[in-house]
Amino acid sequence: MRNKITVVGSGNVGATAAHWLAAKELGDVVLIDIIEGVPQGKGLDLLQAMPIEKRDSFIKGSQDYADSAGSDIVVITAGVPRKPGMSRDDLLNINYKIMSDVVGNVVKYSPNCILIIVSNPLDAMAQTAFKLSKFPRERVIGMAGILDSARFRAFVAMELKVSVENVTAFVLGGHGDTMVPLPRYSTVAGIPITELIEKEKLDKIVQRTRDGGAEIVKYLKTGSAYYAPSAAVAEMVEAIFRDKKKILPCAAYLQGEYGVNGCFVGVPVKLGARGIEQIIEIKLTPEEQAAFNKSAASVKELCAVINV
What residue number has its CB nearest to ligand NAD? Answer: 11
Q: Tell whether residue 3 is a contact of ligand NAD (CB under 6 A).
A: no
CB of 233 to ligand NAD, least distance (A): 9
Q: Tell whether residue 276 is a contact of ligand NAD (CB under 6 A).
A: no
Q: Tell whether residue 42 is a contact of ligand NAD (CB under 6 A).
A: no
Q: Which is nearer to ligand NAD, 44 or 191 (CB)?
A: 44
Residues 79-118 that bind ligand NAD (CB under 6 A): 79-82, 91, 95, 98, 101-102, 118
CB of 35 to ligand NAD, least distance (A): 5
Phi, psi dihedral angles at 153 (to 5 degrees): -65, -40
Q: Tell whether residue 272 is a contact of ligand NAD (CB under 6 A).
A: no
Using CA atoms, how far apart are residues 9 and 119, in angstroms rounded to an integer? 9
Rg of the chain taking only CA atoms, in angstroms: 19
What residues contact 158, with CB distance under 8 A and at least 6 apart? none
The H or E element containing residue 114 is strand 114-117
Phi, psi dihedral angles at 12 (to 5 degrees): -60, -50
Per the CB < 8 A criterion, the answer to whether 258 and 290 are in contact is no
Given strand 187-188, what is the order of strands in its sheet? 167-168, 187-188, 191-192
The letter for the amino acid at 17 is A
Residues 155-184 that bind ligand NAD (CB under 6 A): 175
The active-site residue, picked from 139, 151, 153, 175, is 175
Annotation marks residue 175 as catalytic:
yes
Q: Which is nearer to ligand NAD, 81 or 187 (CB)?
A: 81
Q: CB burial class (10 A; 0-12, 13-18, 19+) of residue 221?
A: exposed
Q: Rule CB under 6 A: choose which of 40, 62, 223, 244 binds ligand NAD.
A: 223
Reported as half-sphere exposure (CB side, CA atoms, 13 A), residue 117 has a value of 36
Q: Rule CB under 6 A: choose which of 4, 6, 7, 13 binds ligand NAD.
A: 13
Positions that interact with ligand NAD (CB under 6 A): 8-14, 32-35, 77-82, 91, 95, 98, 101-102, 118-120, 122, 143-144, 147, 175, 223-226, 229
